[in-house]
Amino acid sequence: MLGKLIKHELNATGRIFLPLYFIILILSLVNRVLINISISTGPLNTLRGFMIAAYALSIVATLVVTFVIMIIRFYKNLMSDEGYLMFTLPIKSSQLISAKLITSLLWNIASILLVAGSLLIMLGTSNNMTILRDFIDFVARGLKASFGSNYVLLIIEFTIMMLVSLVQQILLIYVSIAVGHLFNGHKVLGSFISYIAISTIIQILVTLILLIWARIAGSSLAELEAIPQKVFPFSIIFALICNILFYFGTNYIFNRKLNLE
């Protein structure tokens, strides 16, 4: 059933994302050609400026759309009239949340890859690729020099941390919308307030933990090794705990407190 839900979710969101992705790929191809034409004046130059601006705009649009769609899909499909359809399907409400989460995660990653890919298409001349490779080498050497054998661990931890934080951002929105749903008559406002309140609480918690931790651990926390050995693992575990709370909090509200208008 989860598979079917994800299929329908991709279907519902793909009709917005795919045309946008297509436009970006076309624009980056056009720009690749335009950038490599050596003309500095005349209408072609104006066109080039225009196309690059269009490209930049479409990149911004993709990132904004990815974020906005994530919110609107969850709200409209589950909390508005469409909720009557979704919550009477023979499906656990946790699967509704999981399907939305997995789909949002996929589109977020797809959008990031697409932006990176389109930049490569547009600027990926052999000259630029050498510069890019040199830069990556430079960063890798720097990391090796600073972290020694911990360097691979650091990269793995960093990747996991990015993923877990992305999930945290998505679930924070979901739980805020679910909590906002409990505010009768002011559900959207309630969602905003919940979002701000929950993020503030988390900020305060993190700050407190870090302060106490720094006091106990003393200067050892300021050393470079502390990053892969303490700071990153802590961030990952903290985010994981938040994710679990957000997920089950949303599910609890859906199961026990649902009250569609």
**Least separation in angstroms between CB 222 and another protein:** 51
Residue by residue, DSSP assigns 198-258 as HHHHHHHHHHHHHHHHHHHHGGGGGSTTHIIIIIHHHHHHHHHHHHHHHHHHHHHHHHHS-
Could you give the CA distance from residue 188 to residue 194 in angstroms, rounded to a whole number? Answer: 10
**Least separation in angstroms between CB 254 and another protein:** 10
Which chain residues interact with another protein by CB under 8 A? 1, 4, 7-8, 12, 15, 77, 81-85, 87-92, 184, 255-260
**Least separation in angstroms between CB 97 and another protein:** 15
Q: Which C-beta is closer to another protein: that of 90 or that of 218? A: 90
Closest listed residue to residue 122, CA positions, set 60, 35, 22: 35
Q: Which C-beta is closer to another protein: that of 122 or that of 178? A: 178
**Least separation in angstroms between CB 13 and another protein:** 11
**Least separation in angstroms between CB 233 and another protein:** 38
Closest listed residue to residue 177, CA positions, set 64, 84, 101, 92: 101
The number of CA neighbours under 13 Å toward the Cβ of 221 is: 14
Structure tokens at 64: 């904004």
Q: Which C-beta is closer to another protein: that of 85 or that of 214? A: 85
Could you identify the residue written with the tokens 């335009």? 34
Q: Which C-beta is closer to another protein: that of 104 or that of 168? A: 104
Q: Which C-beta is closer to another protein: that of 1 or that of 64? A: 1
Structure tokens at 168: 């945290």
Q: Which C-beta is closer to another protein: that of 15 or that of 215? A: 15
Could you identify the residue written with the tokens 């957000």? 246
Inter-CA distances, 115 with 15, 83, 122, Å = 18, 33, 11
**Least separation in angstroms between CB 260 and another protein:** 6
Could you identify the residue written with the tokens 């769609």? 69
